[in-house]
Amino acid sequence: MSKKIALVTGANKGLGLETVKQLAKEGIKVIAGSRNPEKGLKSVEALQAQGLDVEFLQLDVDNNQDIRNTHDYILNRYGKLDILINNAGVQIESREWTTNTTESIDDTVLRSTLDTNFFNLVKLTNTLLPLIKKSAAGRIVNLSSILGSLGLHASQDSPIYQSKLFAYDTSKTALNSYTVHLAQSLANTTVKVNSAHPGWVKTDMGTEAAPMNINDGAKTSVALALLDENGPNGKFIHLGEELPW
């Protein structure tokens, strides 16, 4: 199949849905993964009504059977995967971003956050890697956050210094580590792996206080998904600019 195939997780709303839309407008066949079939199907049908080549796939990244089914579905239907955008993620510890939860973090919240944002993301990606390696130019985009940057967290002059949501931040730092390690592991292949900071975006997680709209928030992921052979690999990017780890 000459047409590129992409999978976007957490794609029934917000950044995930906008990313699906922008990729489809680039002529890519996009599989929109969503754990909620009702919301996922409704969102996909709205994009299909616009003439976009999008399909729904039930995918809860916390469900091992969904992960196996996703691999088998893509293998049997397309035989390869060109783009994987790991967009699904959670922040469940606090609605107050300018706080430090390190001493008060609940063990269940910490484990749940790391399961979704890190452990199961790694499981999904590694499960799909054989399909991505079949692509002429595979691209993996891990939706991280500037809040995963240890360098910025440690600097008192940093704009994020006062924000210390321990579970969420730690999950994104771990995700960044995975990006670096996976990029090196795949260095002799045509696959590129990068972390994306979308920005502070008006979503359910970002709230209406955020300065960026969803359209602009999806641009970093889309750009990294469409990189040519000279593009970055193993980097942390926001709108074309490299961020410190």
Per-residue pLDDT of the chain (245 residues), as tens digits, is 679 999 999 999 999 999 999 999 999 999 999 999 999 999 999 999 999 999 999 999 999 999 999 999 999 999 999 999 999 999 999 989 999 999 999 999 999 999 999 999 999 999 999 999 999 999 999 999 999 999 999 999 999 999 999 999 999 999 999 999 999 999 999 999 999 999 766 566 656 665 567 789 999 999 999 999 999 999 999 999 999 99
> Model's pTM, two decimal places?
0.95
- Domain spans, the chain: 5-92+117-146+169-242
Cα separation, 91 vs 180, in Å, equals 23
**What Rg, from alpha-carbon coordinates, does the chain have?**
17
∠ CA 19-13-217, nearest 5°, is: 45
141 burial class (0-12, 13-18, 19+ CB within 10 angstroms)? buried
Residues with Cβ within 8 Å of residue 215, at least 6 apart in sequence: 18, 22
Question: How are the residues of the chain apportioned to helix, strand and coil, as percentages rounded to the nearest 5?
Answer: 40, 15, 45
CATH number of 5-92+117-146+169-242: 3.40.50.720
∠ CA 114-60-69, nearest 5°, is: 120
Cα separation, 163 vs 161, in Å, equals 6
